[in-house]
Amino acid sequence: MVKRKLLLLILIISLILCACSPTPRSVITTDKIGESLDTAQFHFIDVGQGDCTLIRSGETSILVDCGTYESGGKLCEYLQNLGIKSIDYLIGTHPHEDHLGGSSAVLRMFDVKNVFLNGEMSSSYFFERMVDVLEAKNITPYIPDIGEKYTSGPFEFEFLSPEIDFGDENHNSLVVRVKYKDINALITGDIERPVESYLLNHNKDLAADILKVAHHGSRNASSSEFLRDVNPTIAVIQCGKDNSYGHPHYEVLKRFENTRAKVLRTDENGSIVIRTDGKTLYNASEEVIPLDSEKNGESQKSFIGNIKSMVLHSPQCRNLPSENNRIYFDTKEEAIDMKYKPCGNCNP
Ligand SMILES: [Zn+2]
Ligand SMILES: [Zn+2]
């Protein structure tokens, strides 16, 4: 017990030191891009009620979250079946069991080169097991700099959040945007609306082709405004079959109906793999997923009017009315005919 406390103390001190001083450059590894690295795969691994995303190209592997403690063995098997021996970056969004539960199993089995955590601690069993393995393998976890760009093989990734303390363990999740050529993926941990609003208000570049939907599809996340800004082609919800939280919530699925995104769910689809050459997305059957696929969504219409103020906006405007007060137009003329006035900000 004393030993455990000491280990935790060492981890806390090293995390604090990292938070206070600039991240040592040595943590950033830029691997050589081999000739065969002409595609990348995004795996949303079915870990039941939990998150786990593997991003892979050639010998480069980035793992964001590790699912539950119980799913750790299954996750290791999945990674082994892909022939993975080492992991360049293990990113733990926040110390909840459904995100970092499987981390001790992964750290034990694979050669993990870098670990990024959000700096928050937990006294839970799974977290102490993780600290044990980190200590045994002499791995120092780092807190990434928000806004800093990191590279690993052909990937570039950036942490968009948390820039401030949101005062909530879920909201303080690391949010990471991974870029592979022209394709971006946004992985949001368990953030909710306050963080989404912060990111929107601070004009963060959230645009992503692939979105790991926040907080397992909770109604407290994935606001219409956030989804509009991210504007994903594919949205993946990671949740367990018949989970007790009722994830994904009906309201969120409804909000997605007004976007162009194709929603995939690990509770229905099992593990989801999306492959890309950096321009085009392919599903597991190697079919092309059109990036500009038109869905029936009303957001595909070009103009949005506020029925109360009679002001006309472009769909990208920051001052869009709430869903209840909207009217959609195909053309500007149609709106002008109905006496709508163009918004001064977005000039539709
Ligand atoms: Zn979670
Ligand atoms: Zn959580």
Q: Alpha-carbon distance 189 to 51, whole Å?
A: 8
Ligand sitting nearest the alpha carbon of 239: 1
Coarse DSSP helix, strand, coil percentages of the chain, rounded to the nearest 5 percent = 30, 25, 50
Residue 12 pLDDT: 54
CA of 326 to the centre of ligand 2 (A): 34
pLDDT tens digits, one per residue of 89-139: 999 999 999 999 999 999 999 999 999 999 999 999 999 999 999 999 999
Mean pLDDT of all residues belonging to the chain: 87
* Interval between CA 104 and ligand 2 midpoint (Å): 18
CA distance 275 to 137: 32
Residues recorded for the chain: 348
Largest distance between two CA atoms of the chain: 76
| Residue 67 CA, ligand 1 centroid: distance in Å | 9
Instruction: Please compute the mean of the pLDDT values over residues 250-264 and round it to a whole number.
Output: 95
Task: Enumerate the H helices of 250-348 as residue ranges.
Answer: 250-257, 266-269, 332-337
pLDDT at 2 over 80: no
Q: Which of 293, 285, 334 is nearest to 312 (CA)?
A: 334
Burial label, 203 (beta-carbon count in 10 A; 0-12, 13-18, 19+): exposed
Q: Which of the ligands is closest to the CA of residue 213?
A: 1
Q: Which segment of 76-80, 197-201, 281-285 scores lowest on mean pLDDT? A: 281-285
Q: What is the pLDDT of residue 11?
A: 54
Q: Could you tell me which of 9, 75, 87 has the C-alpha nearest to residue 45?
A: 75
| Cβ atoms < 10 Å from Cβ of 341 | 13
The closest ligand to the CA of 218 turns out to be 1
Instruction: Identify the nearest ligand to the CA of 68 by its number.
Output: 1
Residue 49 Cα to ligand 2 midpoint, Å, equals 11
pLDDT of residue 322: 80
- Measured in Å, residue 213 CA sits from the centre of ligand 1 at 11
Q: Which residues surround ligand 1, an ion (CB under 5 A)?
A: 98, 190
Comparing CA positions, the residue from 94, 78, 93, 136 lying closest to residue 112 is 136
| Band of residue 292 on the pLDDT scale cut at 50, 70, 90 | low
Distance 53 CA to ligand 1 centre (A): 13
What's the rounded mean pLDDT across residues 164-174?
A: 98
Q: CA-to-CA distance for 166 and 172, rounded, in angstroms?
A: 6
Ligand with smallest separation from the Cα of 94? 2
**Rounded average pLDDT over 275-299:** 72
Distance CA 195, CA 118 (A): 15
d(CA 105, CA 74): 10
Name the closest ligand to CA 50: 1
Give the rounded percent of residues in the chain with a pLDDT score beyond 90.
71
Determine the distance separating the centroid of ligand 1 and the alpha carbon of 98, expressed in angstroms. 5
What is the pTM for the complete model shown? 0.77
Q: What is the pLDDT of residue 340?
A: 87
The pLDDT of residue 216 is above 80 = yes
* First-to-final CA distance of the chain: 64
Res. 21: pLDDT tops 50:
no
Is residue 323 predicted with pLDDT exceeding 50?
yes
Q: Which residues on adjacent β-strands are paired with residue 184?
A: 179
